[in-house]
Structure 1
Amino acid sequence: MRADRSVYRAGERARLEAVVVDVDGKRITGRDVQVKLVRKETSRAAVQENGSWQYKYDTVDVEVGSCALVSADAPVNCELVVDKAGSYDIRALITDPKGHKSLSKHPFYVYGEDAVVWQQDQHRVDMVPDKRTYEPGDKATVLVRSPFDKARGLVVIAREGIVSHYPIEVKGGAATLEVPIDEAQIPNVRASVLLVRGRVDVPGAPPGQDLGRPAFAVGQVDLKIEATRKKIALEVLPEKQEVAPKDTLKLKIKAKDAAGAPQKAAVAVMVVDEGVLSLMGFQTPDPLAFFHHDRDPGVSLYDMRQFLLAKKDPEPPPSPAPAPEEAPTDGLLNGDTGLGMRGAGKGGGGAGYFGGAPAADKAMAMPAPTAPMAAVVEEHKEAEASNGPMKKAKRQVAQTATLDATAAMSQPISLRSLFATTAYFNAEVAIDASGEATVEIPMPENLTSFRVMAVAVDPDQADRFGSGEANVKVRKPIMLRPSLPRFANFGDKFEASVMVDNQTSEPQAILVGTRGSNVVISGEPTVGVEIPAGESREVRFPMAVDRVGTMRVQFAALSNGGRDATELALPVHYPATRQAFADYGVTDASIARTLKVPEDALPAFGGLELSMSSTALTGLEDAVDFLVGYRYECTEQLASRLLPIFVLGPVLEQFPIASVSDLAKRQALGAEGSRGCSRGRTGTAASATGTIRPAARRT
């Protein structure tokens, strides 16, 4: 159920549209719908509750109109006249064949000359726009629901500063604003109202309770403006929805403006693995929403009336002063003539914390401060013959599907090894005045879904943006999807799992095999499986690590319907931390050293290395090479790199070390570093006292 607006003027007709649907959202026809128009009449009175005085509201529902509808495939409608200002509900009631009732409500508001009491906070102005969103050129009607029967105030229209402002007068508790909507205000503009009311008499308020003292109320509402005029409609049209590995994907991109005409655009195109994007929760970028986000009004409303004190009744005349001999000894600090510690009464109140006559402590009802507006993978059991001999596997699959070895072997096969998460990125695709561009994308060999994302900007009007996306799958009739560990340690044993997919329309007998380098396959290297059309099966191969380094494993599948092969590599690490030992000394005669091999050392790793030199500088080669090849060039690091090389200059001439033993190389390195340090200096420098003086330049 919906109405054409949420705010009406008294005397207008409210138009209602309704449909009847079941729990699945399917429309039901021929069902009777009883529609009632209900006005909420609210009254208020001052009452005392929990020791404080406040307003109590009572609301009564009054039926002021009705109509009967019969549901159809299209929305059915009726019109109801709203004759008085106030809050309304349209209530639609239906009854199903079993007697179950269903009720829907749609609230709206009416303004006019009648006085209205709204059930709301006394310090808040409720503002109700007549629409959820607006288009540039519209005129928004905003209902101002005032907590005061009569009030004056200020209207401020703001968007990153004041757009306009003007006075307003409220009578009968309601008023309306007319706000012109401009394209420059996309995506929002804020309307704010500050109302003030002078002192009034409140019926039922007891003496001493200043419930009608001067008060204020504020309210604000953001008017949302559609950014459709700023949107570039971008279509991403792949030539095919499925491509083979290494095929070229032809992509057409079309751009249109808000009116549907061809649009020039500068486009960035990305093709990324959908699985990775899903793990990240990544959505295609929407530059329109990013750049045309809600703007702050840049204006705040404040009012000092919240600090007004309540009016107090006249105090009774003071009692006669005591005789001099009866006067309290601390009269200079308290009493009628002394200054007490409280801020009420004569001269500070004469009722401090050190004695004296206490002053009357009247309750004050202070206005409250304004509140801000505010690939599931199904695990299969391992087939009993998964590790059996190849002949046995062939006999098993031959029961319902046969493998024509001659036809299968005649098919071309290539090893898939080109895997890429980001298959393509181009930030400079240009769409000309025709509104179209074509891109050719070489696809990788991942057997997965890729999301093609395009993000556009108008090169002539930089506030217009758009985006679009499409999905493309890289597929083969028979596909292998291996699942290996990310790494292995020397001595590890594991089962290499591979999912075999039959994407053909018929069941297939498939021969699956594996081989590799730096790997020991402990079972049969080939397995036969039968896979129904459109289904998958898992095949496992027991494996063990051969040596430290890189393990490469290949899988292949062969069938009448197609073939596939792929290769994966994983690192094999040392199983423990590598430890090194060294012995240094100086001698001028023959010496002997005894070396004891650690008992737990792995026999396949480690060794003995001997190096001898006539100088203790032999071990500095790595350190000097690190300094020379250091790639960061901020001033501090340049200086730290050059200083030790210059200090070692005389030593390097006598004992050649690394690449800077040559004097010419050291001088070239020093000149380059000095120029880098000079470039990093500014023309002035600040002293500790904050004064500025020219900086000395030294090289």
Structure 2
Amino acid sequence: MLPSAERYRPGDKASVTVQVKDHTGENFRGSTVVAIYDKSVEAIAGGTNTPDIREFFWKWRRDHQPQTQSSVLRFSGLLYRNGETIPSPIGIFGNTVADEMEMLEKGGGGFPGGPGGMGGGMGGGFDGRMMRGGPPMPAMMEMADAAPMARAMGAMAGGPMGGVGAEGLDLSGGTGAAPAWVEPTVRRNFADTALWVGRIDTDATGKAVVELDMPENLTTWKVKVWGMGAGTRVGAGEVEVVTSKDLLIRLQAPRFFVERDEVVLSAIVHNYLTTEKSVKVGLQLGGESLVAIDPTEVDVVIPAGGEQRVDWRVRAEREGEVTITMSALTDEESDAMEMSFPVRIHGAPKMESWAGTVRPEATSSAVEFVVPSQRRVADSRLEVRYSPTLAGAMIDALPYLADYPYGCTEQTLNRWLPTVVTQKVLIDMGVDLESVKEHRTNLNAQEIGDDRERAAQWKRFDVNPVFDSQEVDRMVRDGLKKLAEMQVSDGGWGWFSGYGERSWPHTTAVVVHGLQLARDNDVPLVPGMLERGIEWLENYRREQLVRLQNEAKGI
């Protein structure tokens, strides 16, 4: 890669020429991807997250599973006819014959662990039997020479895509006559990614050119190129360029402000010029959200190669957006940068609620409340919601409870009991359930928001069991049957039914209480079901009292 320069000034026009060659040095026609981004991003991310393209496509290895066979490892015993007497071994070494004793004494080997045996070199014995003149172990097969491919990959890695630099431009500025203060160009265009080109094809000479306007960050930019062509020939390269100035200012501020904040803004001025400079450092605040407390212009002297920090105190007056501009002026080179920040309101959305009731014997009721004095009038709203009965809130929740998909003991109980109780209360109050069903709307006075939206949300359930006596009766029968099946043999209830389940005091107490409520609301219970649960709780209470008494006695 060949950038038009190694060093740019902010906003300069730049170009990068990509030259692609294959491993033989010939021009290569293919597709490339070009990315130019701030190198500091890699420092934040802990390095690049892009793997090497050549390793991705070509770092593979053959899986060799060699197998060998040799007669050296084959052996057999003596053959005898049926009924023939087998001679006994002679000699002090068992199977070793007498005429081999002399060789053993001289160190010829032949038994395991001895010279020439299985623990020694070639020509040894196996299980005490000598095998003389055995052929040597076969040599290992050599792998085919992979040097041609290695040389090709090496050429690809070290070719022109490896990165070629160019001499930098002299951007230090002239030395002719200049006004007292050089007018700066305000830097506003800051970016993490300067350029991304998803595809650019090289021509017949293997070249491609990309052009861009450099962002106004003063940083090091990494230029990376990935290429691919016919035959899955791939490569990558990178080079670095810099945008810089000989005198620069860095703006330091929080990401946002809040009303009533008093904040310190900082400017850090760097002097990379060859001489000491008198610098006028200034602050400008756009809009009415921030107000400067300190003087906005400060004169400082910065030696060559040095830096100086300047601070200003500011106060956030009101919500909005503020534009902060900081400048550093000298008689040779100047710099300025501008950034915008939000100023947020001092406070948070708040809702206060009050409730009241109208007694049956009364015709009206009063609710008193205090309107906050520090509030945003345009965003303040008073809503009054009312319902003819508190049972309306219960009606709204019944479809959700009835369709609850889980089935532990407690959930099984709570799926049908609220519907039973609510229906009984409404009937005792003389509420015409059929009329409510036909003209129903959101009866929950606790909900706020648009009436039509609330009504639509409430009607998302097509069926509400409280309006259907037959449906409630079916739920009661199914719920009681399920709870009866979940009752443990000792009379209590656990979390779930099934093999190995044991009774728990909390679960049993919840079910017993629910069955008592169902009985009080005219629900016929399974004979003995409630009584067995109460008996289990009484036994558990007695056992716990005995434990407490024993602990008090030190038993």
Q: TM-score, normalised by structure 2?
A: 0.46
Larger RCO, structure (CA 8 Å, separation 6 or more): 2
Higher fraction of strand: 1
